[in-house]
Amino acid sequence: MKSIFSCLLSLSALPLVAQQPDFSPLQLAEKMTREEKIRLVVGMGMKLPGTAQGNGTGVGMLEDKVPGAAGSTAAFPRLGLPATIVADGPAGLRISPTRPGESRTYYATAWPVATLLASSWDTRLVEEVGRAMGREVKEYGVDVLLAPGLNIHRNPLGGRNFEYYAEDPLVSGKMAAAMVRGIQSNGVGTSPKHFAVNNQETNRNSVNVLVSERALREIYLRGFEIMVKESDPWTIMSSYNYLNGPYTSENYDLLTTILRKEWGFRGLVMTDWFGGKDPVAQMKAGNDLLMPGTPAQMAEIRKALEAGTLDEKVLTENAARIIRYIQQTPAFKKYVPSNQPGLKAHAAIARRAAAEGMVLLKNEMSSLPFPKGARLAAFGITSYDFVSGGTGSGDVNEAYTVTLPEGLLQAGFIPDSALQALYVPYVTAEKALQPKKSFIEEFFNPTPRIPELELNVQTITAAADAADAALITLGRNAGEGSDRKTANDFNLKASEQQLLEQVSAAFHARGKRVVVVINAGGVIETASWRHLADAILLAWQPGLEAGNAVADVLSGKMNPSGKLATSFPLKYEDDITAVNFPGREFPEKAETGMMGMKKIPAEVVYGEGIYVGYRYYLTAGVPVAWPFGHGLSYTRFRYSPAVVTALPGGNFRVSLTVTNTGKIPGKEVVQLYVTAPSGKLDKPAAELKGFAKTRLLAPGQSQMLYFQLSPRDLASFDTEQTAWVTDAGQYTLKLGASSLDIRQTAVLRVSKNVIVQKCNKVLVPPVPIREWKK
Ligand code: BGC
C-alpha cells in the first residue's frame, strides 16, 4: 500500500504535459516515468472470483463505467490519456444488459454467428453488419470490440468454431477484413483474434501446436495476413497456445518479424485474457498490452527493468503503440455515448443477414418454399427454444430470440397449436429447473441443453393429419472452454433419431413433406438420416431474429443464397484431423494454472499439413455429405464460358456472366478454384482463389462477375527457399457453384518459375512434422 501512495504522490508532482501541443506517441511515451509505462502496458484487471479486483495501482477498475466489459487500460490525466474500455465479442457487443439502480436496459444485438456470415460469401453484407455492430460499441461507450475471430475450422469439433468463419483462409481473411472495416468505420477499434493457431479449446492454455512452416503460411497465418493488409485493425489479440515451442504471446518472430515487419501491422498486440506466462518475454516479443492485467505482471516487469534484463527502450516502444491506439479512441476524443445504439434498425439488418447466410442443403421435389398459409407442425425442443448464438465470451446479452413458431406465425403460416401446447410449457418448466449460474460457473461448466420431449405416436399422427408439412429443428450449442463431442452432439442423440423416424414415417405415409432445420454453430453428421428429410435448411445460429429469418427462407421471401464455407463429412472419422485432435496430454507434468485450475501440458501435431477440409477431401477423393461451397437456391443459374485476360504485372482477370434461368429472383455465389501444375511441391487438387456474389437477379437477368489473380495468389510456400513460389506450367481455373460442381474451366500458363516473395526463416518446428501427402 505504502508504495502505491508514494508512487501516486510522486506522479502528482510531475509536470502536466496534457495541454502541450501535439506530441507523437513515442514522444509522449518518452515523457512517461518508468512506473507510468509499466502501468500502461498492464491492463486494469478484471472482477473475477479468485483474481485481483483491478490491478491494484490505485487508479481503480473501470468495469463500472460499462458493466460487463472485459477490461480496460489505465488513465494518465497528466498526459491527456484517458482510460479505454474493451469488450467482447464476435457475434456482437457483450455487456451487462442491466445496471444496479437503473431501470433502463443495455441490450445489444445478437448478430448471426461468424460461420453464418461467412456462408453468405458477401463481404459487403459483412461490412454492413460490422458498421452496425460498431455503432453499438461506440454508443455504449466502448473503445474496442474484441472481434472478429478468424481461426481456421481445423476440426468440426472445435468448441469456438461458430465464432470463426471457415475452413479456408481466403474466406476467413476476406470476411474478417470486411468486418474490421465495418466496425472501425465508426471510429472504434477491433481486436481480430486469436493470433495464431488457436484451433481447439481442449488444453488451450497448455497445448503446443506443432505445425510446418508451409501449413502455417498457407493456412493458419494467411487469413490474418489478408485481414491485416486489407483492413488495418487497431489491435490484434495473441492466442493462448504454444506454437512450435514458445507461447504465441511471447514469440517475437510471430508478433514482430511476421506481423509487423513482413505484413506492416501498425497497431498494438494484446494478450488473450491471462494468456502466456512471462510478461517480460511478452514485452520483448511485441505483445504490448497484457490483459486483463495483474499486479504480479507489473512487479515482474519492474524487476526485469531494475535488473537490466528488459531494456527500457522496449517498454517505451510498447507504451508508444498503446498511446497511438488511445489517441484514436472515442474516449480520447471525449465522445459522449448516447446509450441509444439503434437496436430496432439493427434487428432488421440482423434478420436480413441471417437469411443471406443460411444454407439450403437439400430440397427434393421443390419441397420448399412452402405455400402461403401452409399449416406447419414444428417438432423438436429447439423449435421452441432457438439458439441465437454460442456460449462463453462469444455470447451476447440480447433482449429476445424469436422462436420458430413465432416466426412462422408472423410470416402467415399456421403453426400447429396442439404441438405448441405440449412443447411451450415443457420447455419453460425444464428451463426453470436448470441451475442459475454466474457467467464464470457457466463458463467452466456449461448447462446442457434440455432433453428432447418424447412424443407418443398418437400426438405425431394427429399432427400429421392436421398439418401440411412437418418441421423438425435440431439444436446444438457450444462455446469457449471445451470442444464438442462426437456422441450426442456431432452425431444425433437417440431421441432425435427417433423423432426424425417417427415424424417422417407419419408424414410420408400421408404424402406430406418433412423439412429439417439445423440450428447449430458448426458441423453435424447428416449422412445417416438425411434420407428421412425432403429438405434440409442449415440455419446456423442466426442471432436474435432467428425464427423470423428462418421463416423468410421457408416462405421464399428470401431466396436462399448461402453456401458452405466449411465441409460436412459423411462421418467424423473421415476428417483428416480426427486422428490428431485434440492431441496428446502429459498428465504426469500437470501444474496449477490460472485461477487455481489444473493445467495439463499437451501437444497436437498438424499431421495433415495444408490438407485441411476440402483441400483434403478433393485431393484424397474422400466423399463428403455436403461439399465446401455447396448451397441450393429456389432458382437456377447458367454460367457463360470464362474469359481470361492478362493484366500488367503478371496479373490476370477472369470474367464470366451468370444468368438466372429459373422463375424467381435469386443471387448466386460463384467460386474460383485453381488446380496448379505438378511441380516441386505437393499441391491440393484445387484451392479456392476467389469468390463473388451476384446482386439479386430477376428471372432472365444476367450479371458479369470478375475475379483478379496475382502471381502471389497462384504461389505456394516453399520451405526450402522460405519463399512464396509460383511454378511454371498450366493452371486450370475452375468456376463453380461448389467445390464439386464446376461449371466452367479455363487455363492460364505461367512461363517460368517465379519467386514471388522471400520471407524470414522463422517459426520453424522443433522437429520435422510428418505430413500427409497425396
Ligand atoms: C477469450 C477471448 C475474449 C477474452 C475476454 C478469453 O477467455 O478467449 O476471446 O476476448 O476472454 O473476454
Q: What is the mean pLDDT of residues 419-424?
A: 98
Can you give the pTM of this predicted structure? 0.96
What is the tens place of the pLDDT at every residue in 137-180?
Answer: 999 999 999 999 999 999 999 999 999 999 999 999 999 999 99
β-sheet bridge partners, residue 734: 673, 745
- Percent pLDDT > 90 in the chain is 90
User: How many angstroms from the chain centroid is the CA of residue 750?
Assistant: 36
Ligand 1 centre and the CA of 390: distance in Å? 14
Question: Which atom of ligand 1 has the smallest separation from the CA of 198?
Answer: 8
CA 273 – CA 71 distance, rounded (Å): 9
Q: Enumerate the β-bridge partners of residue 652.
A: 646, 709
DSSP 406-436: HHHHHTT-EE-HHHHHHHHHHHHHHHHHSPP
When pLDDT is averaged across residues 198-212 and rounded to a whole number, the result is: 97
Closest CA to 228 of 280, 193, 279, 272: 193
16 CA to middle of ligand 1, Å?
Answer: 36
**Grid coordinates standing for 550?**
428462418
The answer on pLDDT for 89 being more than 60 is: yes
164 close to ligand 1 (CB < 6 Angstrom): no
Q: Over 80: is that where the pLDDT of 583 sits?
A: yes
| Cis bond before residue 97 (omega within 30° of 0) | no
What is the reported pLDDT for 529?
98
Return the closest-CA partner of residue 502 out of 536, 450, 464, 449: 464
Structure confidence at residue 595 (pLDDT): 67
pLDDT on residue 447: 86
Active site residue 718: no
Measure 468 CA to ligand 1 centroid, in angstroms.
46
Q: Which residue matches cell numbers 433482449?
A: 399
Amino acid at 54: G
Helix axes 34-41, 2-12, angle to 10 degrees: 110
| Cα 393 to ligand 1 centroid, rounded to whole Å | 6
The answer to whether the CB of 163 is under 6 A from ligand 1 is no
Cβ-in-10-Å burial (0-12, 13-18, 19+) of 662 comes to middle
Helix (H) or strand (E) holding 377, with range, is strand 375-379
Q: Give every CB contact of residue 507 below 8 A, 6+ residues apart in sequence.
A: 464, 467, 469, 470, 513, 514
Distance 272 CA to ligand 1 centre (A): 6
C-alpha grid cell for residue 148? 472478429
52 pLDDT higher than 60:
no
Q: What is the pLDDT of residue 2?
A: 37
State the pairing for strand pair 637-639/84-88: unpaired
Percent of the chain surpassing pLDDT 70? 95
Distance CA 703, CA 695 (A): 8
273: Cβ below 6 Å to ligand 1? yes
Per-residue pLDDT reduced to its tens digit, 707-727: 999 999 999 999 999 999 999
Q: What mean pLDDT is predicted for residues 571-593?
A: 95
CA dihedral sign, ordered 325, 327, 332, 333: negative
Of ligand 1's listed atoms, the one at least distance from the Cα of 163 is 9
How far, in Å, from the CA of 184 to the mean position of ligand 1? 20
Q: Which of 37-51, 77-91, 132-146 has the lowest mean pLDDT?
A: 37-51
Question: What are 648-668's pLDDT values in tens digits?
Answer: 988 999 999 999 999 999 999
Pairing verdict, β 414-415 and 469-475? unpaired
Does the Cβ of 87 fall within 6 Å of ligand 1? no
Report the distance separating Cα 161 and Cα 469, nearest Å.
32
Residue 196 Cα to ligand 1 midpoint, Å, equals 14
pLDDT at res. 439: 73
The more confidently predicted of residues 576 and 438 is 576
Q: Is the CB of 95 under 6 A from ligand 1?
A: no
In this model, does residue 303 exceed pLDDT 60? yes
- Is residue 319 predicted with pLDDT exceeding 70? yes
| Structure confidence at residue 1 (pLDDT) | 35
pLDDT at 7 over 80: no
Q: Is 272 in the pocket of ligand 1 (CB under 6 A)?
A: yes
Name the band, by pLDDT with cuts 50, 70 and 90, for residue 62.
Answer: low
Residue 667 and residue 692 in contact, taking contact as beta carbons nearer than 8 Å: no
Counting atoms of ligand 1 from 1, which one is nearest the CA of 94?
A: 12
Written as one letter, the residue type at 466 is A
Phi, psi of 639 (to 5 degrees): -105, 130
CA separation for the pair 12, 538 (Å, rounded): 60
What is the tens place of the pLDDT at every residue in 588-631? 999 887 767 788 999 999 999 999 999 999 999 999 999 999 99
pLDDT the model gives residue 55 = 47
Whether ligand 1 lies within 6 angstroms of the CB of 393 is answered as yes
554 lines ligand 1 (CB under 6 A): no
Reduce the DSSP state of residue 297 to 3 states and report it: helix
Question: Integer distance in angstroms from the first to the last C-alpha of the chain?
Answer: 64
Strands 469-475 and 375-379: parallel
The residue type of 231 is S
- Which pLDDT score is estimated for 48? 60
Distance (Å, whole) CA 573 – CA 66: 45
Nearest CA to ligand 1 atom 11: 273
545 vs 5: which has the higher pLDDT: 545
- pLDDT of 357 > 60? The answer is yes
Long-range CB pairs of 15-23, under 8 A, 24+ apart, other chains included: 15/78, 16/78, 17/78, 17/79, 17/80, 18/77, 18/78, 18/79, 18/80, 19/80
- Contact call for residues 529 and 500 (beta carbons, < 8 A): yes
- Model confidence at 59: pLDDT above 50: no
* Catalytic-role residue among 272, 534, 713, 718: 272
Q: Which pLDDT tens digit goes with each residue over 528-540?
A: 999 999 999 999 9
How does the average pLDDT of the chain come out, rounded? 94
Task: Ligand 1 pocket test: pick from 289, 480, 482 the residue with the most ligand atoms within 8 Å of its Cβ.
Answer: 480
Closest CA to 543 of 129, 97, 108, 110: 110
Give CA–CA dist 392/397, Å, rounded.
Answer: 11
Which residues, at least 6 apart from 429, have a Cβ–Cβ distance to it below 8 Å?
none
In order of 224, 228, 325, the CA distances from 174 in angstroms are: 9, 10, 24
Does ligand 1 lie within 6 Å of residue 236's CB atom?
no
Identify whether 620 is preceded by a cis peptide bond (ω within 30 of 0): no
Q: Which of 256, 257, 161, 152 shows the shortest CA–CA distance to 197?
A: 152
The residues facing 149 across adjacent strands are 193
**Whole-angstrom Cα distance, residue 669 to residue 657?**
12
| Model confidence band, residue 51 (pLDDT cutoffs 50, 70, 90) | very low
Per-residue pLDDT tens digits for 375-401: 999 999 999 999 999 999 999 999 999
CB 432 within 8 A of CB 426: no
Nearest residue by C-alpha to atom 3 in ligand 1: 393
Enter the C-alpha cell of residue 731.
493452371
452 lines ligand 1 (CB under 6 A): no
Over residues 19-34, the pLDDT tens digits come to 666 899 999 999 999 9
* Nearest-angstrom CA–CA distance, 765 and 774: 22
Bridge partner list, 363: 535
22 to each of 27, 73, 78, 79, 333, how far by Cα in Å? Answer: 9, 21, 14, 11, 14
**Mutate which of 51, 194, 272 to test ligand 1's pocket (most atoms within 8 Å of Cβ)?**
272
- Mean local confidence (pLDDT), 218-247: 98
Map 678-693 to HEC letters: CCCCCCCCCEEEEEEE
